[in-house]
Structure 1
Amino acid sequence: MFYNSPHYLEKVANAVKHVNVHDHICSIYESRDEQLAVIIPFIRYGLENNEKCLYVADENTVEEITGLLSDGIPELQSYMDKGALTIINKTKAYLEQGRFSPEHVVEAIKKNIRTAKQEGYKAFRITGEMTWALSGDPGVEHLMEYESDVNHLYEELDAVAICQYNKNRFSPEMIRHILYTHPVVIYKGTVCRNYKYVPPEEYLSPDAASAEIDRTLVQILEIEKREESLLEKNIELQVINQKLNAEIEMRKQTEDLLLKTLRELERSNSELEQFAYVASHDLQEPIRMISVYTRMLERQLEGKLDPRSRQCLFFLSDGSKRMHALVQDLLAYSRLTSAKEPFVPTDINSVLSEVMLDLQVAITDHNAEIELEEMPRITADPTQMRQLFQNLIQNAIKFKSEADPFIQICCERSDSEWHFSIKDNGIGISPEYNDRVFVIFQRLHEKEKYPGTGIGLSVCKKIVERHGGRIWIESEEGSGSTFHFTISRSL
C-alpha cells in the first residue's frame, strides 16, 4: 500500500480531522510513511484549531521528526517559536524520575492541560512515539496500567491523545493489551471505534479475567442479535426490492402503453388535420358555387318573391357566407401543422405595423385606440406572429363594450421567455370560462350578435405552443380582458 500517495494522505487527513477532544487513541502503524500520514494532520489540525500541541519523540529522533513535521506543516517553526508546539524526548516526558512513574506522568499531563487553558488555547493535544517502552527502563512494566487509567483524565479534561505503536516492534500480546486500553484505534488510515476496549474499572480489577469472560459472553450475544437483526433487515430489503422491481416493471408497462397511445393520438391527430385540410379545401368549390347561384337568384328574382321565399333565400346566402368563413378558418388551422415556416429573427414592431394596416378598416369603423410599447426582435415564424396578433387584436375590437375600444399591447422579457399581453376594455367573460375560450369551435356568445367560427383563439393557442410558450386569459365579465402569451427565447 502506498502510504504517501496523495489519495491515501487525503483520506487519512479527512479521517483524523474528525478526532475529538477527550479521545484517547492508539495509532497502529507498520512504516514511517503510515505513521506520518496520521500524525502530521493530527498536529496540523490542532495548531489550526488553537490547541496547544506536544510531541514526544524517541530519544534519538527529535531532530528527524522536527524536519518531517516541517515538510507537512510549513509554518511549524513559527508555531514552535510562540510555544504552540513543543517537541521533547522520552526522558523529559516519561523518565524524569529515573524510572517510569504513571502518577508523575499523569500529573505532568494535567499541568500541561491547565497551562494550555490558562494561555488561551482551546485544548491540549499530545502524541508520543511509544517505542521507548521497549528499552526496558524501570517501571515500564506499568505502562498498560497507565494507558488504562489515563482514560479517566481524557474523559474529564480538554485534551486528546494519540499513542503511536509500531506493530512490527511490539509483541502480539502487547498489541492485544494496547487495544484493551484505547477506546479509539487508527489503523490503515481509518479511525475506528474500538470494540476490544476494556474500561479501566474492569481492566485494572483483580478479578479482570472473570470480568473479561462476562464481557465476552455479552459481546457474543450482542453480535448474534445484530446478525439476526441484519438478517431480518436483509429479508425486508429483498421483499422491498421485489416490490420495487414489480413497481418498476408495472410503470414501464404503463409508460410503454402511454407511449403507444401517444403515438396513436399523434397519428390520429395528423390524419384528422390532413382530413380537415383536404375536406375544407375540397369544400371551397361547392360553397363558391352555392354563393354564386344564390347571388344570381337574388338578382333574377328581385321584387318577385313573397316574404317567406325572400327569408329562405337570405338564410341560404347567410349560411353559405358562414360556411365559407368556417372553411377558411379550418384551412388556416390545418396549415399551422402542414405549412410551417422556419423560425427567423422577427421584428414585432414591423409585424404589428402590418397588422394595423390589415385591420385599418375595423379600427376606423369602431373608433378603436391601440397603445403600443416598443416591441422586441425575437426568433419566430413571422407569418404566424402576424396571424397571432391579428386574431387577438381583432378579438378585442369584436367584443367591445359600449365604450370605444381601447387596447394596450405590452411585452416583458425574462431569462427564458418573452411575455406579451393584450389588454382591452371590452365586455369580458366570466373567469369560469377562461380555459374554454381556447377550445376549437367553442363559442361563448350569441352568434347573431358576435358572428364567428370559434376557431380563432384555438389557432392562437396552436401558434403559441409551436413557439414553446403558453397562452391564457385574465377577465371579469363587464371589465375587459387581458390575453397573455409567452414565446420561448431558446428557439
Structure 2
Amino acid sequence: MSQPLQSTQSDVLDLESPLDALQQSPQFNGPVESPNGEFCNDHFALIYESRDEQFAAAVPFIQQGLERGEHCLYVLDEASEPAVRDALQSGGIDVDDAVESGALAFATIQETYLENGSFDADEMMDHYAERIEAATAEFEALRLAAEMDWILEADVSTTECMAYESKVNALFDNRDAIAVCQYNREAFPPGVLCDVIRVHPHLIYDSTVCHNFYYTPPEEFCEGGRSSKYELERMLGTLLDRSKAKSALQEREQYLQRQNQITADPDRAFEDKLQALFDLGCERFNLEIGGMAFVDVDSDWFKLEHVSTDEHEHFQTDIELPLSETYCTAATDIQSVGSVTSPESDGYDDITVYQEFGIQTYFGAYIGVDGGTDRTFFFLDSDSRSEPFTADESAFLQSMSQWVKYELEQHQRERELERTVDRLETSNERLEQFAYAASHDLQEPLRMVSSYLQLIDRRADLDADTEEFLEFAVDGADRMREMIDGLLTYSRIETRGKPFEPVELADVFADACENLQFKLEGSNAQLSVGSLPRVEGDPTQLRQVFQNLLSNAVKYAGQQPPRIEVTARKDGTQWVISVHDEGIGIHPDDQDQIFEIFDRLHSRSEYDGAGIGLALCERIVERHGGQIWVDSDVGEDSTFSFTLPATTDQ
C-alpha cells in the first residue's frame, strides 16, 4: 500500500478531500463548490447507471483514503466482493496488501445495515460510531463507500431513509469520517431518487460532481420541507444564477474569439494588432487607456512605448518616469497580473501617476522578455473602480500579454538573426576579397619563378639530374598556378556570378559537351542524355558544374571507355539532375570528403588535378539554393545528383 500523504487540511475531513480523488479519474469532470449558506456535510450521493460509472468514482475515492492513511470500508450489496476487488486492483490499489494491513475492509449488508435482520437507524448510528472510534484509534479517519440497494429489499420508507440521513449528518459532523452512498438509478424508482437528491448537497452523476441547488437538509425534509415561497425563490435564483453564468461564459468566449481574430490576422502589422488589443481590452475592462512600457526593476526605470490614445495630457509615448512612481510595480513586484482599484487604500496615493496624472485605476501584466527589455502591458482609467477585477478578467489580460510576449521575443530573435546574417555576409565579403587579392597577387611572382626556370632549362647545359630537378620545379609552379586559378574562381562564385534567369539546361549541357569535345572523343565516351528542364539559374556557372562532373566521369572511368548517363526528375518545386557513370566508384567513408576544397583521394601519379572541381560544384549549387551529393559503390558506379529550382511557369 502507498505511504500516507501529508495532508495540509484540518484534522477534520471535508467534502473537498474526496473530490480531489474523484478529479483524478479520467472520467470525472465538473466544478466543486459549496451550496450557498447551507451546511455541507461529509456525506454525499453517487448516482450511477453502470458498474463502470460506479467504479470510476468509487475507486479513486477509496484510493485517496488509503494514500492518506485512512481506514476504508466498502459495504457490498449488488456488486460482489471479487468484482470490487478487481476494480480496485485495476485502479492501482494493492488490495491484498491493503486488506492485510487493516487499511481496507469489506462488509456485507447483513454485517452492517441489516445486522439484526431489519434496519434500525439508531442501531446503525451505534454501529458507525464504534467503527469511527476503532478506525481513528489506528488510522487517520474512516472512509466509507456503501451500496444502497438494500433499502429496496428491506422495505425502508422514504421518511425512515431521510431520518437516517439526518442522523448520519449529525454523526459525521466534526468527525474524522466521510461517506459516499451509492444509488443505482436502474434499481430505484424515480420518486425515491428525487428524495435522495433533495437531501444531498452534492451529487455525483454521469461522472460529474453537481452542486445541488435544491438541497434540503434531511431534518427539514422530514418535518415537511420548506415553504413553497422558499422553494420558488430558490428555483428562480437558480435559474437567474445559471442564466448569468451562461451569459458570462458566452461573453468570455466572444472576447477570446475576437482576440484570436486580431492576433491571427496575417495582414496586420504588430503595431496594428497591438492597437486592436488595446481597444478590445478597454472595452472588456471598461477602462479608458491601454498601454505598454519598457520597465527595469533594478534601475527603477519606466518608459512608455505604446499608448492607445494621444488624448491624455500626460500619458504620451516616450515619457520616462521612475518605475516606483507608477502603478506598474503592482505587476512587476509579483511578475504577474496586478491591479490598483483604490490608490489610497492600496498604498499608491503618493506617486506621480496619481498625484499629477490623475490615474485612479490600473490593471496590468508583467512581461519578462528573454534576450530583451522587460515590459508591462496595462490598462488605466482616471476614475476609481468599486469592484476588484475578476479571475476571468485577469485570465483574459494574461492571455493578451502572453501573445505580446511571444511577439516581442520573436521580433528579438529575428533582429538577432538579421544582425548575425549581416555580420556573416560582411565576413564572407572580406574573406572573398582577401582570397581574390591573395591569389591575384601570387600570380605575378609565380609566373616569374616559372619563366626563369624555363629560361634556365633552355639556355643552360645541365646534367640529367639537374634537368629532372628543374622539371619538378616547373611542374610544381604550374600546379601552384592551377590551384591559384581555382581559388580565384572559387572566391568569385558569389561576387562575380550573374543574376538568375530562366535557363534551358539542354543548351547549357550542350555547351559543356562542346568544351569537352576532345576529351569525350579521345576517351570513346558513351553519353546518354534524357530530357533536361528549364530552371532558374546562372548559365555560366551551371555549365561549369556539368563540365566538372563530365570531366570527372571520364577521368575516373577505369580501364573501360566511360559510360555516362544524364537524367532529370521533378521533385516538388525543384529539379533533381543526376550524372551517372560506371567508373571506379567512391568508398562511403570518402563521399563527404570529396567536396572539400583541395582535398584529393588519389595521388597525382594516379590522377592529375588540383582537387577543386567538386568544391566548385558544391559552391555553385548552394548559390542556387540547392544541394549536391553522391551515391556510389566502390568498383561499380557513381551517381552525382544536385537540385535546382524550377521556373515559376512549370
- Equivalent position to 1:214, from 206, 211, 234: 234
Q: Is 1:299 aligned with 2:458?
A: yes
CA spacing shift, 1:223–1:376, aligned 2, 3 Å: closer
CA spacing shift, 1:241–1:436, aligned 2, 3 Å: farther
SS at match of 1:422: strand
Shift in Å, 1:310 = 5.1
CA spacing shift, 1:342–1:214, aligned 2, 3 Å: closer
Shift in Å, 1:220 = 7.5
Q: Is 1:330 aligned with 2:487?
A: yes
Q: Is 1:451 aligned with 2:608?
A: yes
Shift in Å, 1:245 = 4.1
Map of 1:270 onto structure 2: 429
Q: Is 1:280 aligned with 2:300?
A: no
Distance 1:373 1:443 in 2: 31
**Structure ranking higher in helix proportion:** 1
| Within-5 A mapping of 1:179-194 | none
Question: Over the residues paired in the alignment, what is the CA RMSD in angstroms?
Answer: 4.1
CA spacing shift, 1:301–1:215, aligned 2, 3 Å: farther
Q: Is 1:356 aligned with 2:356?
A: no
SS at match of 2:609: coil
Aligned AA for 1:406? R
Map of 2:628 onto structure 1: 471
Shift in Å, 1:407 = 0.7
Distance 1:212 1:401 in 2: 102
SS at match of 1:443: coil
Distance 1:219 1:432 in 2: 77
SS at match of 2:576: strand
Q: Which has the higher contact order (CA 8 A, sep 6+)?
A: 1
| Within-5 A mapping of 1:32-431 | 209-216=229-236, 231-232=390-391, 234-236=393-395, 238-239=397-398, 242=401, 245-301=404-460, 303-304=462-463, 307=465, 309=466, 312-344=469-501, 346-378=503-535, 380-413=537-570, 416-431=573-588
Map of 1:175 onto structure 2: none
Map of 2:647 onto structure 1: 490
Shift in Å, 1:330 = 1.6
State the Cα deviation string for residues 309-362 of structure 1 (Å, max 9, x = none). 555434422221111111111222233223333445544334333322322332
Shift in Å, 1:438 = 3.1
| Alignment coverage as a number of residue pairs | 290
Distance 2:611 2:232 in 1: 91
CA spacing shift, 1:320–1:239, aligned 2, 3 Å: same
Shift in Å, 1:209 = 3.4
Distance 1:274 1:304 in 2: 44
SS at match of 2:583: coil
State the Cα deviation string for residues 122-175 of structure 1 (Å, max 9, x = none). xxxxxxxxxxxxxxxxxxxxxxxxxxxxxxxxxxxxxxxxxxxxxxxxxxxxxx
Shift in Å, 1:301 = 4.5
CA spacing shift, 1:233–1:270, aligned 2, 3 Å: same
State the Cα deviation string for residues 345-395 of structure 1 (Å, max 9, x = none). 544334333322322332244332221224345554332222121011112
Distance 1:384 1:484 in 2: 16
State the Cα deviation string for residues 222-278 of structure 1 (Å, max 9, x = none). 7999989x9445545555655554454344333222211111111111121122222
Map of 1:35 onto structure 2: none
Distance 1:242 1:374 in 2: 57
Which of the pair has more CA radius of gyration? 1
Out of 205-214 and 217-226, give the one that drifted further: 217-226
Distance 2:226 2:416 in 1: 76
Distance 2:607 2:402 in 1: 59
Unaligned runs of 5+ in 1: 1-197, 199-204
Identity among equivalent pairs (%): 35
State the Cα deviation string for residues 32-77 of structure 1 (Å, max 9, x = none). xxxxxxxxxxxxxxxxxxxxxxxxxxxxxxxxxxxxxxxxxxxxxx
Q: Is the 8 A contact 2:591 2:630 kept in 1?
A: yes
